[in-house]
Amino acid sequence: MSDYSLAPGAPRPRRLRRSPAVRRLVSEHRLHAADLVLPMFVKESLSEPVELQGMPGVHQHTLDSLVEAARAAADAGVGGIMLFGIPAERDAVGSGAWDPDGILNRAIAAVGAAVGERTVVMADLCLDEFTSHGHCGVLDAHGEVDNDATLDRYAQMALAQAAAGAEVLGLSGMMDGQVAAVRHALDAAGRSDVIVLGYTAKYASAFYGPFREAVDSQLEGDRRTYQQDPANGREALRELELDLSEGADIVMVKPGLPYLDVLAEVAAASPVPVWSYQISGEYAMVEFAARAGAIDRMPAILESLVAFKRAGADAILTYWAAEVAGELGRSR
């Protein structure tokens, strides 16, 4: 017997790791396809889908290819699809966002008709894809984002997206009072059935880089006057309190892996579902590291998603949603 042998009866946690079947039986957290939401991009000017250089495997879609990819995602069992639209023309106020014939609203209707009975159709509610300056709101005479004027535009956008058939509206602009403005507009129009997803803690992150390519962002400068400072954690709980008081049905923490501490605190405090968004830079790091042979791709993807569940996320927006849903279905 080794001098370092454990005494009889000593704790041996390794017993619960001895085989795949045992590990599966005692697993504290599990991924399900229904936990995953797939963000998708539709670009009005395209005649065929275009793969993004910064996000291998992710495409800007035509309306037809978007519907086809949405059907594949629904077939895999994803819980939802979050739609982003890129118009052919932009203006200073983002008027294409509430145009019933605008690309995003047409996409909502088309995807809803194709898969709306099998998965939840969601829409990004923000002006950055639609404005010529790339900010998430309208600008005042000094070139600053006008918070309250932007709320009026968000209300118009909410009504247009609800009319197109969106079940969940993702309020990603980070304007003060955005949840209250949208909830009031929906309720006043008799659309109290539409779900409001508040982007409660959305940080001014360096990891959004590839997303700028995905939406052909026109932004010059940054969004630090309205997105949260990465140095601040307690601020997220204040934002949570405000979003809940304004009527948010679901709350969000974004980005994901760099903010798991914030996600855990929000999840512990929230009486409503908490989601998180595994953003473009997180996706790109894994994809390019795997291509370089530095990591094993699918185990790294699954490990990153389990981290969200462990931190308290009820659902995860991820560009791997359809692929992982298929992987989970094969592994059952």
- Catalytic positions: 202, 254
Nearest to 106 by CA among 172, 44, 51: 44
CA separation, residue 141 to residues 145, 208, 294 (Å): 10, 28, 50
The number of helices, as runs of H, and strands, as runs of E, in the chain is 11, 10
- With a CB cutoff of 8 Å and minimum separation 6, the contacts of 293 are none
What DSSP string runs through 243-292? Answer: HHHHT-SEEEEESSGGGHHHHHHHHHH-SS-EEEE--HHHHHHHHHHHHT
Task: Using alpha carbons, list the distances in angstroms from residue 163 to 63, 101, 169.
Answer: 18, 11, 12
Task: Give the residue ranges of DSSP H helices in the chain.
Answer: 20-25, 63-76, 103-115, 147-164, 178-188, 209-214, 234-246, 260-269, 280-291, 297-311, 321-331
DSSP assignment letter at 174: -
Beta partners for 274?
251
One-letter amino acid of 155: A
Q: How far apart are CA 292 and CA 300, in angstroms?
A: 14
In eight-state DSSP terms, residue 5 is: P
Asked if residue 207 lies in contact with residue 255, where contact means CB atoms within 8 angstroms, the answer is yes
